[in-house]
């Protein structure tokens, strides 16, 4: 528990340090944008690959309201696994020359689906959905015209079912790269 409190307070301090001094008179980007990119999710059992979409509505030069969805798929512990996230939250921005630094906090649903085929013609599948939390940030660089190239990393925390109907907390790291339109 101390690690999570420390991580949250460190993220808040980082966001405050990066964003302090931002004034409403700073140049604002367009009000609505869409991020689309590749996502790499690292779990305790292996790696998943997929896509991430994030529409964003800019409230002012500093803050945006975002929705964020991702879909990662791969093989974990011998089972075909898919993790989908459906989240929303707040993203804070700070321009630093040609680059923009951002941090965000998101909350929503994390759905995990897994299936195995123990022998020919038989498939066993299980799915679960739990509340999840995602905190992270990254950098955006002007690419071409109004398009930007985004690099980001996130800490995804969610629950997973374990034997006997009990749940356990799971922490994953997600990296993504893509374009903001």
Domain span at 158? 28-180
The tens-digit pLDDT sequence of the chain (181 residues) is: 344 434 444 444 344 444 444 433 334 458 999 999 999 999 988 999 999 999 999 999 899 999 999 999 999 988 999 999 999 999 999 999 889 999 999 999 999 999 998 888 898 998 999 999 999 999 999 988 889 999 999 999 998 877 777 888 999 999 999 999 9
92 lies in some domain: yes
Residue 10 belongs to some domain of the structure: no
Q: Is residue 53 part of a domain?
A: yes
For the chain, first and last CA: distance in Å? 38
Residue 22 belongs to a domain? no
Cα–Cα distance between 35 and 37 in angstroms, integer?
7
Residue matched to tokens 């302090």: 20
pTM for the model: 0.79
Q: Token digits for 155? A: 């800490």
Residue 13 within any structural domain of the chain: no
Counting the structural domains of the chain, the total is 1
Geometric angle at alpha carbon 24, from 22 and 29, rounded to 5°: 95
Residue 8 inside a domain? The answer is: no
Q: What is the CATH number of the domain that holds 147?
A: 2.40.160.20
């Amino acid at each position: 528990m101390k690690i999570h409190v420390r991580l949250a307070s460190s993220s808040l301090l980082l966001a405050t340090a990066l964003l302090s001094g931002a004034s409403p008179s700073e140049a604002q980007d367009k009000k609505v944008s869409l991020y689309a990119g590749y996502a790499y999710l690292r779990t305790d059992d292996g790696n998943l690959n997929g896509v991430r979409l994030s529409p964003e509505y800019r409230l002012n030069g500093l803050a945006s309201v975002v929705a964020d969805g991702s879909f990662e798929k791969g093989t974990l512990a011998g089972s075909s696994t898919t993790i989908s996230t459906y989240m929303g939250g707040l993203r804070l921005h700070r321009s630093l020359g040609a680059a923009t630094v951002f941090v965000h906090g998101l909350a929503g649903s994390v759905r995990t689906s897994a299936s195995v085929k123990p022998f020919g013609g038989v498939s066993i599948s299980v799915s679960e959905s739990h509340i999840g939390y995602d905190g992270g940030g990254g950098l955006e660089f002007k690419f071409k015209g109004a398009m930007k190239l985004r690099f980001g990393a996130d800490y995804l925390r969610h629950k997973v079912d374990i034997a006997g109907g009990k749940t356990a907390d799971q922490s994953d790291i997600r990296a993504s790269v893509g374009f903001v339109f």
